[in-house]
Copies of this chain bind each other. A is one copy, B any other.
Amino acid sequence: MSAECVIGVDLGGTKVLAGVLDGELNVHNRVYRSVHGLPQGELIEVIVAAVEEVRAAADAEISAVGFGIPCLIDQRTGVATMAVNLPIRDMPFRDVMAERLGLPVHVDNDANMAALAEFRAGAAVGVTDAVVLTIGTGIGGGLILNGRLYRGAIGSGAELGHMVIEVDGPRCQGNCPNHGCLEVLASGTALAREGTRIAGERSDSLLGRALADGRTVNGALVTELAHDGDQAAIDTLALIGRNLGVGIANYLNIFNPDVVVIGGGVIAAGELLMAPAREEAARRALPTMRDHGRIVVASFGPEAGMVGAGALALDELGKTRPEGSVS
């Protein structure tokens, strides 16, 4: 292990994952804890304990900690201004963690961290401009522009799931007041909703029978049945894939990126989702952008946020290190 290590932490609505990373972003130790439904005080204790545990297990000195959290963050203050699934809204998360851990702490949106992981060590290595969509229950977004993470004026940018693609579409989720966002039309939630609808319409399909048998139609079930060859499940994934493709076309036109990276749990559907997405994007994007921008699957799976948070901590170390010193 190299002399200088950091800890990357991915905090989700239900779990915290902390890992020790070296300067090449190799992960050396991991700790995983449930945080489901915890009130703020207990949540903070569980996070601190997880970080301390992984720190104790590391055989190297830890220089800083990076956090990816599912919140909008005002980077001027380190405060989460919007947090859907965690009780940390309006809390000075960065400062609290720095005080508790006695280490420099850096905090960013979890989807930004996934984008940074892909840029440093994954599907967006070597490019200058990348759009990264992380698709699970919702859709998180991260932007690499001109070779660096783009955060927006106060650090809350790249909410790429909250782009309207259907002006009178369904009401969006959580704290979003909008209608017809990409998130409500191409996320795991959309997959479950459309899968349930299609199951009801096609009772002879495996999907329809699963619904009739009382099973919950969620993204995992639709994906499983589609891989088994069920046409109703395949059609559901294609519908969601086409919606995703509309969003990808928008981002190709807006950013003229080198690459659009699609990650998150929904990607378990593989080409059953990606092929319709690519076709729809190719039909809609301006030719110049379409011909330049590759549409690829993310390199990192569930550890993307943790690896990216570690990369953030390493980046920030680099900025504070005196010029000319050896890393």
Task: Report which of B160, B257, B284 forms a contact with A177, defined as CB distance below 8 A.
Answer: B284
Contact across chains for B284 and A153 when beta carbons are under 8 A apart = no
Q: Residue A205 at the B interface, CB < 8 A?
A: no
Contact across chains for B72 and A286 when beta carbons are under 8 A apart = yes
**A141: nearest chain-B partner, CB-CB:** B254
Give the complex CA separation of A168 and B81 in angstroms. 34
Q: Residue A152 at the B interface, CB < 8 A?
A: yes
Contact across chains for B256 and A154 when beta carbons are under 8 A apart = yes
Residues of B within 8 A of A169 (CB): 167
Contact across chains for B159 and A254 when beta carbons are under 8 A apart = yes
Contact across chains for A284 and B152 when beta carbons are under 8 A apart = no
Contact across chains for A257 and B152 when beta carbons are under 8 A apart = yes
Interface residues as binary, A143-176 with B (CB distance below 8 Å gives 1, 0 otherwise): 0011010111111111110111111110000011
Residues of B within 8 A of A175 (CB): 286-287
Interface residues as binary, A128-154 with B (CB distance below 8 Å gives 1, 0 otherwise): 110000000000010001101011111
Q: Contacts A159-B289, A165-B164, A165-B167: A254 and B257 contacting too (C-beta < 8 A)?
A: no
* B-binding segment of A49-57, A243-251, A265-273: A243-251
Residues of B within 8 A of A255 (CB): 150, 152-153, 157-158
Distance (Å) between the CB of A164 and the closest chain B CB? 5
Task: With a 10 A CB-CB cut-off, give which of A127, A160, A169, A254 has the most chain B CB atoms.
Answer: A254
Q: Contacts A74-B288, A288-B82: A253 and B163 contacting too (C-beta < 8 A)?
A: yes
Copies of this chain assembled into the complex: 2
Q: Contacts A150-B145, A256-B154, A292-B154: A284 and B127 contacting too (C-beta < 8 A)?
A: no
Give the complex CA separation of A146 and B72 in angstroms. 18
Residues of B within 8 A of A159 (CB): 253-254, 256, 286, 289
Task: Report which of B153, B158, B178, B287 forms a contact with A254, defined as CB distance below 8 A.
Answer: B158
Contact across chains for A164 and B246 when beta carbons are under 8 A apart = yes
Contact across chains for B164 and A256 when beta carbons are under 8 A apart = no
Q: Residue A283 at the B interface, CB < 8 A?
A: yes
Give the complex CA separation of A298 and B14 in angstroms. 45
20 CB < 8 A contacts A-B: A72-B286, A82-B286, A146-B148, A152-B257, A152-B289, A153-B255, A153-B258, A154-B288, A156-B289, A157-B254, A159-B286, A159-B289, A163-B254, A164-B249, A166-B166, A167-B169, A175-B286, A177-B285, A178-B285, A254-B254
A residues apposed to B, CB below 8 Å: 72, 74, 81-82, 127-129, 141, 145-146, 148, 150-160, 162-169, 175-179, 243, 246, 249-250, 253-258, 283-289, 292-293
Q: A158-B256, A175-B286 are in contact. List 4 more A-B contacts (CB 8 A).
A: A157-B255, A163-B253, A165-B166, A254-B254
